[in-house]
């Protein structure tokens, strides 16, 4: 018997290869069409376990489904006197499909899918990172627009690695309008009241621990500025901190 190609599916450059070997006779029952096959990586041809194999007709009605085992092998049986398509999908791999297949009602078919890898997780991470950078950039631009006393990422970066704590960093950066007490309460020079830390947009109390390497930028707000935004959650002023969790991983 000679293998014959069923064709290629190329949406946006994605290529799925399928070879078919058909034998006459029933594998499971006299009325069933049976497909036995293996799913392998296009590069290196290692087995691909956990891939979903779906058999559909020309109007996308599902006729049978299976999941490939640890060795990449699968088997499906179905009854259909119509043309059908075999498709393979798995997260992290490009979907692959055959052309429409016409086969006898009792054929047993051997198929071999070679599926190309797709950097799905990386793409999602890149999208999230880009969106996060946009968020942080917008927050910085908005803080400057509102006239807040901003200590930019460039200023923070200058002292980040030599400061043992956030309060040390504020001292090194020459943060004005505040007094740092021994009780870790950062007080307003004007009112002598503890300022509220607002971390990534959320009021977090008057005493928080933030590692200097996690800080992107911060700003000091007066009582009137903070009360307008956060009300009685930050009535005496605020230290607004945006962390690097949105832009990059902290240094080891």
Q: pLDDT by residue (tens digit) across 156-198?
A: 999 988 888 899 899 999 999 999 877 668 999 999 999 999 9
CATH class for the domain made up of 120-246 = mainly beta
Residues of the chain with CATH 2.170.130.10: 120-246
CATH number for the domain formed by residue range(s) 4-115:
2.60.40.10
Residues of the chain with CATH 2.60.40.10: 4-115
The pLDDT assigned to 2 comes to: 31
Q: Which residue pairs, CB below 8 angstroms and at least 24 apart, start in 53-59? A: 53/86, 53/87, 53/88, 54/86, 54/87, 54/88, 54/89, 55/84, 55/85, 55/86, 55/87, 56/84, 56/85, 56/87, 57/82, 57/83, 57/84, 57/85, 58/82, 58/83, 58/84, 58/85, 58/100
| DSSP notation for 170-209 | HHHTT--SEEE-TTS-EEETTT-PBPEEEETTEE--S---
Distance CA 35, CA 111 (A): 7
Residues of the chain with pLDDT under 70: 1-31, 105, 118-134, 183-184, 245-252
pLDDT tens-place string over residues 45-68: 899 999 999 988 877 788 889 999
Q: What percent of the chain has pLDDT over 90?
A: 33
The pLDDT assigned to 85 comes to: 85
pTM above 0.85, yes or no: no
Q: C-alpha distances in angstroms, 76 versus 33, 65, 68?
A: 8, 7, 10
């Amino acid at each position: 018997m000679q293998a014959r190609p069923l064709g290629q599916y190329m949406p946006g450059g994605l290529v799925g290869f399928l070879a078919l070997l058909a034998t006459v006779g029933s594998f499971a029952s006299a009325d069933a069409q049976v497909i036995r096959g293996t799913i392998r990586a296009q590069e290196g041809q290692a087995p691909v376990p956990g891939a979903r194999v779906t058999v559909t007709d020309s109007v996308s009605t599902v006729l049978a489904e299976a999941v490939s085992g640890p060795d990449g092998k699968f088997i499906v049986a179905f009854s259909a006197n119509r043309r059908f398509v075999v498709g393979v999908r798995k997260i992290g791999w490009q979907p692959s499909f055959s052309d429409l297949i016409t086969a006898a009602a009792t054929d047993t078919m051997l198929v071999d899918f070679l599926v190309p890898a797709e950097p799905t997780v990386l793409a999602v991470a890149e999208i999230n990172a880009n969106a996060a950078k946009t968020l942080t950039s917008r927050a910085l631009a908005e803080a400057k627009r509102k006239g807040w006393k901003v200590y930019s990422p460039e200023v923070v970066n200058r002292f980040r690695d030599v400061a043992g704590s956030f309060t040390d960093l504020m001292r090194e950066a020459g943060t004005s309008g505040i007094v740092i007490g021994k009780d870790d309460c950062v007080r307003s020079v004007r009112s002598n009241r503890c300022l509220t830390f607002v971390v990534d947009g959320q009021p977090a109390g008057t005493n928080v621990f933030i590692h200097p390497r996690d800080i992107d930028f911060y700003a000091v707000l007066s009582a009137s500025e903070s009360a307008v935004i956060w009300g009685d959650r930050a009535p005496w002023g605020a230290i607004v901190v945006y962390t690097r969790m949105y832009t990059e991983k902290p240094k080891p």
